[in-house]
Structures are given as structure tokens and as C-alpha cells.
Structure 1
């Protein structure tokens, strides 16, 4: 269960809680976990205690999954993760045979369906082993890791797998939505920058494509245009808008070959080269959303950088 494992990992490495350094009212397990557990009785919640040996009914739940909402906070109440806000859904948590105490898995074992709990871990106890140390932001916020968990019900493995698949699809859809919103906003910013660059450099005759790329044919070619799937040979020089060159076909001493329209180059190249006849030379001004976007490219191309390319379509193979 990749999602549940990821949540466990996140809880183990980074979580904390709004109770911060206050420990009043908490009980403690033999392994050192401080906890408050509340059981719903009618419309109210009542705090309940767990015996020193843990919940004796847990053995009947091993192998199943407990659904619940998780949230993690620093000791200064900074939210690190909140599945309710992020997914608007409970997540499946595996109930396993405990091989190590003092872990989030042990905290899960103390809960019955319908319980709510707050669990405080000393950060030092969770960062044992070679090469592991407590992150500074945890040390500076109380050196504790606290997890909130509000549970709903037990489900079997098949139901948990179905839930995980649904959650993964939901997360992918949300990420796609966020990426599209970001790209739309960034394209507006890039367009302002590109228009200013065109005006400043007196690039008369630049044309704009629907995608937001600008281009100008500086030397028309007489040959055909390339079709998607055909291999094209291109001489080029790429620069930032500051004028700094980051790449050129002269470095290899020969044109660069690639299949057009197959996604093997940045989108601005697939679109821009397709506009040219064989033998043409052109300037392409490519917004960052059609170039290297948020990630940039190595040390030479920063994130969100519009680019300028001078290209020549040498051949179509």
C-alpha cells in the first residue's frame, strides 16, 4: 500500500502537533509515546485509558486497515500535512504485527474504529540509525513529533486497495489542476516579459502562436515543411533573454537531429520547427511553459525562464 506507506514515512520523519510542548493530560506507553485517546459515546467524546500492555483487542484487527484522517504539525502549530484538507477523504492505514515499539504503527494499534487520538513522539526516538538526525525545524519547535488521527472504520485489504487507487487518481487530478493553473498564470507573466523583450530589441514582424510562442522567419526557405514523425536536422543557438548562451549546435560541430512532434524536445521546438520550410532561418521566443518550466535545466537555465533560439532547418529526412 504505497499511499499508506508514504503517510507512515511522513509521520515518522516530519510530523508534530498543536499541543506543542504541553504534556498535561497525556498518558504514556512503555515505549514512551504520549497519547490521548477519545471514544465517541453518543454525541460526545470521552477520554479512555489503555492498559500498560496496549489494547488487548488489537490482535483481532491485525491484517486489516483502519480508515482515518491524519494531520501533522510542528510543536509551534505549523501544519505539515493534513489529509482532510489535501484529499478531503479518509486514508487506509495498515494494521500490522508490531515488531518495533514507539512508532506510529504502535499508535495505530491503540485505536479502535471511531476513536480519535493525539500522539506525541520525541523526535530523537524516531531518528535513530546511521546518517539520520533530527531536522532543525523540529528541534526548534519543541523536538517533538505529534500525530492527530480521527478514525472511522475497519476495512479489508481489497477495500483498502480500491480506496488507494481512488485516492491516487484524485491526487493526480488535483496535481494536474494545480499544474494547469500554474501554467496559465506563468504564461501571462512570460508574455509580458517577451513583449518587453521584443520592444526593447526592436524585433519587428514577430508573430504569436495560440500557445504563446513568438517567432520570426529571418530567411525564408524554399523546401517543404516537416511532418510529425519525420526526422529534422537543425542548427541552433539558445540564449536566455539576458543574452547568455546556454547551448549551440556548434558545440558538436553538426546539426541536431530529432523526430518532429514526438515529445523528444521541448514543446516550443516541436511547435516552432513545424512552422518552417526546409532551408528557413528563424528566431523563436519560447515562454517557460513551453520550455523547461518550473524545473529549469541544470545550472544554465533557471526555473520559469523564457528562451530565445536562433534556428535553421537544414534538412528533413
Structure 2
């Protein structure tokens, strides 16, 4: 199962679990069938976007991010500019309240710039503003609830984790995940950014059109477990 399928599958399961609680037994089957139909159409839509945007991202990466490598399962191109302090964060898996293991959701402090492929900056931290030199986020939360876009979550999490003699495939972009002091540059297809949801500023102006691939430069100032 590729990373796109995993994201869609997990989101669909979460949606079904939450919503079905409010449905009567008589309507569950019809609702589930409709949900599967919508999920199938959404997968087709996203796969078409990934295919359409792949050559655009390839050309962009070759021109603007020399040395970038492609993550085949997502279509994200990335380059590690600084590896960071090895071992500064390793606690990627934690005990789950439901039993077993779950992904940790550490807090990251970053400097970053986000651009459209036109080069237009839509968001960035500021060296000139003491209150905005860095920003903090909790990774592992999807952007539907105000969390990080999938491309950022994939950038921070490692590909695989070995714990107590067992290997766990996570699906991140890098071998060990981003560490304190790391710097990564990436360009991601729109389904791993804001997908078909346009983003607006406080004045109501569109800053990120729907279906926009995005270009980021991220510096990790710190990464630690949430207090």
C-alpha cells in the first residue's frame, strides 16, 4: 500500500467510525455504500492530479532544487541541506492509549518559507520580527483540523523505525526523520498540500489557489515531546 493509499484509507476509516455512530442501523448500509463510492471517486481524482503534476514537479526540482531526489510513493521531491544533530530525537513511536503503539506527535520549532511554484511567497517566518523568528507546530495532525499538511508530516517522520527488535514502516521521506538543526527543501504535489481547498489571508484574498503544488524550505530549530 503506497503512502497516498494509506492517507486515504486512514482518513476514510476515521470518518466512518465517527460518523456511523450518529446513523441508525437501517441507514448504515446505504451510507457505507455511498461513502465507498465517494472515496473511490476521490482516489481517482487524486491519482489524476498526481499524474498531471508529476512532470511539472520534476522540471521544477531539476531547475530550482539541484540534487533533489524523488520519493516515488508520493511524488514529493526533496533535498536535505543540513542533516541536523543525529539522535537529537528518536522517540517516534509511543504506547497507544488503545494498546500497542502509535506515532509520537512531537512539537517542532521551525524557520520556514512557503512558496507557490511561481516563486510567490505565501507564508514565512521573519528574521526582522522578534516575535516571528520561529513558529511551533505539533506534527502528526492533519491540516483538516488546523494541523500540518501531509507533506510536512512526511518530511518529519522517518521511513522506518526499529524498536525492540521489530521494524515498523512509517512512510516518511528520510531514514531517521528530521532532527534538531536539520534543513530540508521540498516541492510537493497538491494532494499532499492543501489539495482542492484554496487558502485565504485575513483580508479574504486567496494566497494558495486550489490544487496548488507547493515549495518549502524548512529549518528545524528544535524538536521535542509536547509538554
**Per-residue deviation at 1:277?**
2.1
Q: What residue in structure 2 maps to residue 300 of structure 1?
A: 207
1:250-265 aligned within 5 A: 250=126, 253-263=132-142, 264-265=147-148
- For residues 25 and 109 of structure 2, the distance between their equivalents in structure 1, rounded to whole angstroms, comes to 48
1:289 aligns with 2:172: no
Q: Deviations over 1:206-241 (max 9, x none)?
A: 122222211101123124346331111111110001
- For residues 162 and 231 of structure 1, the distance between their equivalents in structure 2, rounded to whole angstroms, comes to 41
Give the TM-score, by structure 2 length. Answer: 0.63
- For residues 186 and 176 of structure 1, the distance between their equivalents in structure 2, rounded to whole angstroms, comes to 15
Q: What residue in structure 2 maps to residue 237 of structure 1?
A: 113
- For residues 207 and 308 of structure 1, the distance between their equivalents in structure 2, rounded to whole angstroms, comes to 14
- Where 1:305 maps in the other structure, the secondary structure is coil
**Per-residue deviation at 1:166?**
2.1
- Where 1:234 maps in the other structure, the secondary structure is strand
Q: What residue in structure 2 maps to residue 171 of structure 1?
A: 34
Considering Cα pairs closer than 8 Å and 6+ residues apart, tell me whether 1 or 2 has the greater RCO. Answer: 2
1:204 aligns with 2:66: yes
* Structure 2: 5+ residue stretches without partners: 1-23, 93-103, 158-176, 201-205
CA RMSD of aligned residues (A): 1.8
**Per-residue deviation at 1:255?**
1.8
**Per-residue deviation at 1:273?**
2.4
**Per-residue deviation at 1:163?**
4.6
Give the TM-score, by structure 1 length. Answer: 0.46
* Structure 1 residues 184 and 315: alpha-carbon distance in aligned structure 2, compared to 1, 3 A threshold: same
- Where 2:60 maps in the other structure, the secondary structure is helix
Q: What residue in structure 1 maps to residue 21 of structure 2?
A: none
Q: What residue in structure 2 maps to residue 249 of structure 1?
A: 125
Q: Is the Cα–Cα contact under 8 Å of residues 273 and 313 in structure 1 kept in the other structure?
A: no
1:266 aligns with 2:168: no
Q: Deviations over 1:24-70 (max 9, x none)?
A: xxxxxxxxxxxxxxxxxxxxxxxxxxxxxxxxxxxxxxxxxxxxxxx
